[in-house]
Homo-oligomer: A and B are copies of this chain.
Amino acid sequence: MKWTRKDFLDIRSLSREELEIVLDTARAFKDIIQRPIKKVPSLRGKTAVNLFIEPSTRTRVSFELAAKRLSADVVAVAQEGSSFKKGETLKDTALNLQALKADYIIIRHPAAGAAQFLAERLGAHVVNAGDGAHEHPTQAMLDTFTIREKLGVVSGKHVLIVGDILYSRVARSDIWSLTKLGAKVTLVGPTTLLPDCFREMGVGVTHDLDSVLPSADVVNLLRIQHERQSRAAFPSLGEYVSIYGLSRERFRRCKPDVLIMHPGPINRGVEIESELADGDNSVILQQVTNGLAVRMAVLYLLGGGQSEAL
């Protein structure tokens, strides 16, 4: 099977085979980025526009590096100082970028569906770098890649996703990716951040972290996103930490080789005790490296590259 889609918008609409193409291609790029010379000429002469309407250093930099290592030119358009201030619509911004012959538009936007909206209107390849509380598909790919790399397979593994599920595009994309690849997923969080309707996605839902920790192969801790909550979802941060924070005490109840994951940036002492974030079970920084490999793979595949050519 070969990759045929123009855009990379979500995980939900992808087949298991498509997810595996991305993961296999990313593995080839992971080898490349370990070399002293990390650059390949695949996208020479191509232009990628980083259209970040919501601030994000790490995802922007990851995509910028991915594109540059494929030898593409990268132009950054941030909310700050952009025509959005002059009241231009997303559609007009997009049509303009298309008229400038951008080959790729990598968009982060506070509104769910923004990437899809562009993809339907533009010839350029659109990559969703996070749209509202909808999806963040390259994050799911890098999480899945990391689990597969560390545990050999995804299928049959028990993955906990802990924290602010309701507002999290990471959680949604991870759920789609992991369940399509056969993992058992359990969501964990306070009722205010984890309504029961998530069960419809084919996952377990619990509000009691301690009851599921011992059976977990992976604990994926989501960032508490103060900025996306419109009202207080839990009484106090201290209370959240005492119930859902990964402490050394709780860690002792985990399997000895449990993987600890976090999409970053971590709040040390909130979602996770600092020592555990830096410990042997943590793959948080390997997620970052894998994100680069996954994003190179996505840009490469959308542009018509084939995994076997690498």
Instruction: List the B side residues contacting A86 at CB < 8 Å.
Output: 227, 265
State whether B47 touches A65 (Cβ < 8 A). yes
Question: Which of B47, B65, B83, B285 sits near A75, CB closer than 8 Å?
Answer: B65
State whether A264 touches B85 (Cβ < 8 A). no
Q: Is A64 an interface residue (CB 8 A)?
A: yes
Question: Which of B57, B68, B88 sits near A47, CB closer than 8 Å?
Answer: B68
Q: A44-B37, A95-B285, A289-B99 are in contact. Are A61 and B89 (CB under 8 A)?
A: no
Q: Is A197 an interface residue (CB 8 A)?
A: no
Instruction: List the B side residues contacting A286 at CB < 8 Å.
Output: 99
The CB with the most chain B CB atoms within 10 A, among A68, A98, A101, is that of A101
Q: A61-B75, A75-B64 are in contact. Are A85 and B37 (CB under 8 A)?
A: no
The residue of chain B having its C-beta at the shortest distance from the C-beta of A225 within the complex is B86
Q: Is A87 an interface residue (CB 8 A)?
A: yes
The residue of chain B having its C-beta at the shortest distance from the C-beta of A223 within the complex is B86
Q: Is A28 an interface residue (CB 8 A)?
A: no
- How many residues from A make CB contacts under 8 Å with B? 54
Q: How many angstroms between the C-alpha atoms of A64 and B101 in the bound complex? A: 13
Q: A55-B81, A92-B265, A265-B92 are in contact. Are A101 and B33 (CB under 8 A)?
A: yes
State whether A100 touches B57 (Cβ < 8 A). no
State whether A61 touches B77 (Cβ < 8 A). yes
Q: Is A192 an interface residue (CB 8 A)?
A: no
The residue of chain B having its C-beta at the shortest distance from the C-beta of A37 within the complex is B45
Q: How many angstroms between the C-alpha atoms of A44 and B41 in the bound complex? A: 12
Instruction: List the B side residues contacting A57 at CB < 8 Å.
Output: 77, 81-83
Q: How many angstroms between the C-alpha atoms of A146 and B246 in the bound complex? A: 56
0/1 per residue, A124-157, Cβ < 8 Å to B?
Answer: 0000000000000000000000000000000000
Q: Is A288 an interface residue (CB 8 A)?
A: yes
